[in-house]
A and B are shown apart, each in its own frame.
Chain A
Amino acid sequence: GAGVSQSPSNKVTEKGKDVELRCDPISGHTALYWYRQSLGQGLEFLIYFQGNSAPDKSGLPSDRFSAERTGGSVSTLTIQRTQQEDSAVYLCASSLSGSTLSYNEQFFGPGTRLTVL
């Protein structure tokens, strides 16, 4: 079946503009995660969704970052007033469930490379 897909694959924007990054998880996966991969910080957790709710937003670096998930499926990560330090690859992952007693493997998408000029 189809894996996790993300769009766009590449995004170049100017400092101060808003951007939206999209993630389509694997069908039937109720848990969805966003991570950020940057040269300086490595791979960092941003936010976790279980269904449409986000019980863990602890990794969002500032209030310029927000995310939503609708219909328990597609998720959008929005970065407002982008800064150069936001340049990174944004990875999305999904799993069957993220909050049961048993761990379910996270499957990663190819990422969106964001460049802020």
Chain B
Amino acid sequence: AQSVTQPDIHITVSEGASLELRCNYSYGATPYLFWYVQSPGQGLQLLLKYFSGDTLVQGIKGFEAEFKRSQSSFNLRKPSVHWSDAAEYFCAVVVPGAGSYQLTFGKGTKLSVIP
């Protein structure tokens, strides 16, 4: 079965600093890859997704992610963090063609932003 690992439970950055959140997946082929954000008391919002093609994908709110097949990674980046980015971030995968397209999530990384 596929699995997703987010090694960092909690990250703190200063406002204006760059950000990288790590995600590794375990699956025989390349799954569909996603990053979601969850603000306190809110549902999950899709930031970006990768299915195939260009390995650098752009998302909403100034986020981008890079797929690296050799490392089975899909790390999320932002060049300059804003205080409003404080939230919990989840990496997720979907196995294409598996039927239900259920999302398998990592445990999440909580981002705190210091003003």
Interface residues, chain A, with chain B CB atoms under 8 Å away: 4, 31, 33, 35, 42-45, 48, 50, 55-56, 59, 91, 93, 95, 98-99, 101, 103-106, 108-111
Decide if A110 touches B42 in the complex (CB within 8 Å): yes
Taking residues whose C-beta sits less than 8 angstroms from the other chain, chain B's interface range is 20 to 34
Decide if A45 touches B102 in the complex (CB within 8 Å): yes
Stretch at the interface among B18-26, B57-65, B103-111: B103-111
Interface residues, chain B, with chain A CB atoms under 8 Å away: 32, 41-46, 49, 51, 90, 92, 94, 96-97, 99-108
A43 contacts which chain B residues (CB < 8 A)? Answer: 90, 92, 103, 105, 108
Decide if A33 touches B102 in the complex (CB within 8 Å): yes
> How distant is B49 from chain A, measured CB to nearest CB, in Å?
8
In the complex, the number of residue pairs spanning A and B with C-beta atoms less than 8 Å apart equals: 59
Decide if B97 touches A101 in the complex (CB within 8 Å): yes
Which of A59, A91, A104, A110 has a CB less than 8 Å from the CB of B102?
A59
- Which DSSP category, helix, strand, loop or mixed, fits chain B's interface? loop
A46 to B45, CA, bound (A): 19
A6 to B9, CA, bound (A): 28
A32 to B92, CA, bound (A): 17
Decide if B105 touches A42 in the complex (CB within 8 Å): yes
A109 contacts which chain B residues (CB < 8 A)? Answer: 43
> How distant is A26 from chain B, measured CB to nearest CB, in Å?
12
A104 contacts which chain B residues (CB < 8 A)? Answer: 101
A105 to B103, CA, bound (A): 10
Which of A95, A98, A99, A111 has a CB less than 8 Å from the CB of B43?
A111
